[in-house]
């Protein structure tokens, strides 16, 4: 495993804003969110009850870059720049002529990429005097990240965790409690939305859409509270581009450039983080042959089997309507172990890119995914989060294709977090009990 690490002073001081490139080179942008009642485009004022003004500005920005606040860069410096690693032992095992690189985000304090957006979101909310942030979480990675960010900025945090993951991954709940967050299994009896879900679907294991509804309800009914989201929205994806920006600089140092970029995709934050800086090159004509592949679970295949239409981002219909690939806001995915990918839709930006054929998508079942994760762990020593294991499954497919074709190929993917709190899932897989 060969490392390529940037020096602290080489960490980016601004995020890349992909809508700038879409507007400049494609002349098109994703369609705007709509008011669920009037079906007309919403204005920024409609979001002020949920988000600080600066994040709303970032949501609609067409600037080329979004500066990273100094306070946030100082906190990033505890774990960024993250390493770019070459999976040379996996290459050898596969017998492929392809070169496989991965950006490793599992060394952050919370073990995943989610802290990249949790820190700026907490920072901007604190500047506006917000005292409580509410959110949802699937596998618990985003909840853990926001809990720590709130602790750093002396704020309270309330997390609605999808019940399936709440029971599958108890130690993620422990991490959030250690950071001082309040964690509730969703759907719950703490909100009117939660009570309605339980009444309609007794025994449900929940979904991200349900948890979003509960978190928003608490945010809009509690003085001094705002809502924070770990994926889907433009500003969240923009914050994650620090991953791809660093990866570009690291690959440039090694004199290489990817032929294909792979990322797992639920809402889209990890995929966007690694791919958007390279897609900016593709849009500007500097990387026309570049392929980007989104990988999702077969149990929640919003890109590969969903419809591209306006839909609510939550199950109760409390959010604006967004144009996205969706399985329907009422869709409840089976409780697979990759809880971070169990979202009924995709971000409007990712959906637009897929619709315009600027990226591809594929889906795999979780046993195939865990088999790929085992192969990677035995080769490289890192146990990947189940979400990132989806990307690994596609990377192996790409590497095997290069072998069949006898072509050299450079493959880049994002390993968005470690799987050390997912060992129960791995044990289930190893014992043959995974469905």
Tens-digit pLDDT profile for residues 33-83: 998 889 999 888 888 989 999 999 999 999 999 999 999 999 999 999 999
Looking at per-residue confidence, does 342 or 115 come out higher? 115
3 pLDDT tier (thresholds 50, 70, 90): low
pLDDT value at residue 69: 97
Please give the average per-residue pLDDT across 164-175, as a whole number: 89
Residue with token string 């450079």:
410
148 pLDDT tier (thresholds 50, 70, 90): very high
pLDDT value at residue 350: 97
In this model, does residue 266 exceed pLDDT 70?
yes
In this model, does residue 337 exceed pLDDT 70?
no
Lowest mean pLDDT among 146-150, 315-319, 364-368: 315-319
Compute and round to an integer the Cα radius of gyration of the chain. 20
Please give the average per-residue pLDDT across 9-29, as a whole number: 96
1 pLDDT tier (thresholds 50, 70, 90): very low
Domains of the chain and any CATH numbers:
2-9+70-111+235-430 (3.40.50.1100)
SS3 readout for 230-299:
CCCCHHHHHHHCHHHHHHHHHHHHCCCCCCEEEEECCCCHHHHHHHHHHHHHHHCCCCCCCEEEEEEECC
**3 vs 166: CA distance, rounded Å:** 35
Average pLDDT, the chain: 93
435 pLDDT tier (thresholds 50, 70, 90): confident
2 pLDDT tier (thresholds 50, 70, 90): low
Q: In the Cβ-directed half-sphere of 204, how many Cα atoms lie within 13 Å?
A: 23
**321 vs 175: CA distance, rounded Å:** 33
**341 vs 339: CA distance, rounded Å:** 5
Beta bridge partners of 86: 2, 101
For 202-213, how does the pLDDT look when each residue is reduced to its tens digit (9 = 90+)? 989 898 889 999
CB atoms within 10 A of CB 226: 26
**361 vs 181: CA distance, rounded Å:** 35
316 pLDDT tier (thresholds 50, 70, 90): confident
342 pLDDT tier (thresholds 50, 70, 90): confident
Looking at per-residue confidence, does 282 or 5 come out higher? 282
Please give the average per-residue pLDDT across 173-199, as a whole number: 95
């Amino acid at each position: 495993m060969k490392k390529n690490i940037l020096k602290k002073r080489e960490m980016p001081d601004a995020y890349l804003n992909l809508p700038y490139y879409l507007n400049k080179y494609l002349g098109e942008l994703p369609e705007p969110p709509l008011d669920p009642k009037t079906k007309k485009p919403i204005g920024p004022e409609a979001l002020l009850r949920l988000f600080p003004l600066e994040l709303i500005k970032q949501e609609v920005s067409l600037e080329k870059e979004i500066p990273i606040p100094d306070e946030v860069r100082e906190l990033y410096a505890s774990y960024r720049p993250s390493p770019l690693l070459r999976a040379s032992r996996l290459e050898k095992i596969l017998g492929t002529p392809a070169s496989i690189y991965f950006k490793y985000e599992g060394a952050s304090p919370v073990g995943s990429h989610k802290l990249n957006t949790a820190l700026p979101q907490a920072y901007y909310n604190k500047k506006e005097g917000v005292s409580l942030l509410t959110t949802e979480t699937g596998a618990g990675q985003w909840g853990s990240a926001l809990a720590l960010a709130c602790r750093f900025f002396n704020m309270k945090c309330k997390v609605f965790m999808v019940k399936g993951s709440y029971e599958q991954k108890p130690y993620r709940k422990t991490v959030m409690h250690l950071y001082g967050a309040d964690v509730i299994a969703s759907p719950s009896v703490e909100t009117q939305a939660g009570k309605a879900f339980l009444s309609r679907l007794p025994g449900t294991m929940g979904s991200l859409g349900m948890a979003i509804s509960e978190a928003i309800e608490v945010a809009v009914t509690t003085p001094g509270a705002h809502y924070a989201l770990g994926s889907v929205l433009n500003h969240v994806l923009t914050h994650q581009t620090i991953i791809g920006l660093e990866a570009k600089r690291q690959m440039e140092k090694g004199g290489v450039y990817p032929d294909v970029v792979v990322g797992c995709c639920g809402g889209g934050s990890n995929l966007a983080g690694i791919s958007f800086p390279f897609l900016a090159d593709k849009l500007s004509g500097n990387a026309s042959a570049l392929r980007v592949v989104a990988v999702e679970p077969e149990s929640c295949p919003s890109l590969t089997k969903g419809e591209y239409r306006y839909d609510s981002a939550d199950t109760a219909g409390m959010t604006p309507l967004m144009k996205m690939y969706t399985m329907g806001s009422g869709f409840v995915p089976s409780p697979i172990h990759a809880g971070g990918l169990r979202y009924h839709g995709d971000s409007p930006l990712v959906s637009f890119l897929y619709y315009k054929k600027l990226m591809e998508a594929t889906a795999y079942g979780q046993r195939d995914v865990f088999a790929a994760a085992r192969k990677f762990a035995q080769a490289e020593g890192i146990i990947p989060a189940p979400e990132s294991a989806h990307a690994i499954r596609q990377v192996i497919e790409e590497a095997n294709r290069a072998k069949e074709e006898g072509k050299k190929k450079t493959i880049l993917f994002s390993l968005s977090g470690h799987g050390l709190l997912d060992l129960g899932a791995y044990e289930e897989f190893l014992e043959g009990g995974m469905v």
